[in-house]
Amino acid sequence: MTDDGTMHPSTFTGVLLLPSKSIFGTTAEVTLGDGTPVAVIHRKAWSARPKFEIFDAADATLLATGKATGFWGNRYELLGPRSEPLLEIKFSNWSGPKRAAVTLADGRELTTSGNWSARNFTVADSTGGQVAGLVTTSSMWSWRPESLAFEITAPVLTLVQAIGMAQCIRTAVEAANAAAAG
């Protein structure tokens, strides 16, 4: 964290545990693999377009906001606390959230691919090398809220970008599931 309350722009490698749903509402804590809290996510459940906010571990400082954009809702953007772009994800119109192009704030591009119903995704860099993986960690029959583990194996994302990317994918999957059920 810098003196002005923003996250340091250094890249992150490691495991993030992200509860997909909270038992008691729309707030969920993000932790490292060892259980250390690093952020709190607030989901905006009653908005026309899916939205979320990422706060620091103390739930005091806004780090980023994410939301669906575009006419079809197949694009998601993550903005910093001063509305600066951190990343944009564009999902394929034909395959739903199975494939996506990710553009980072510095112009670098990543791609995601995966099984949206199982919430199992990989993230690759421009050479095709895997840099991260996102998987569901709870079983279908579990009483716990469903959780996601996001393992970032190469230094390509900041902590906030990693959390935001995982939440954008989760939000796109939920929107696709709602559209399929409706």
Average pLDDT over residues 50-56: 91
Domains of the chain: 14-181 (3.20.90.10)
**pLDDT top residue among 161 and 8:** 161
More confident residue, 116 or 129: 129
Region 52-66: what's the mean pLDDT? 96
The pLDDT, as a whole number, for residue 55 is 97
- Buried-state track 46-80, b at ≥16 Cβ within 10 A, e below 16: eeeebbbbbbbeeeeebbbbbbbeeeebbbbbbbb
pLDDT at 144 over 60: no
| 15-30 pLDDT, tens digit each | 999 875 554 558 889 9
pLDDT the model gives residue 8: 44
* Length reported for the chain: 182
pLDDT in tens, 78-101: 999 999 999 999 987 655 567 888
DSSP string of 25-69, one letter each residue = BSEEEEEETTS-EEEEEEEETTSSS-EEEEEETTS-SEEEEEEEE
Residue 73's pLDDT is: 67
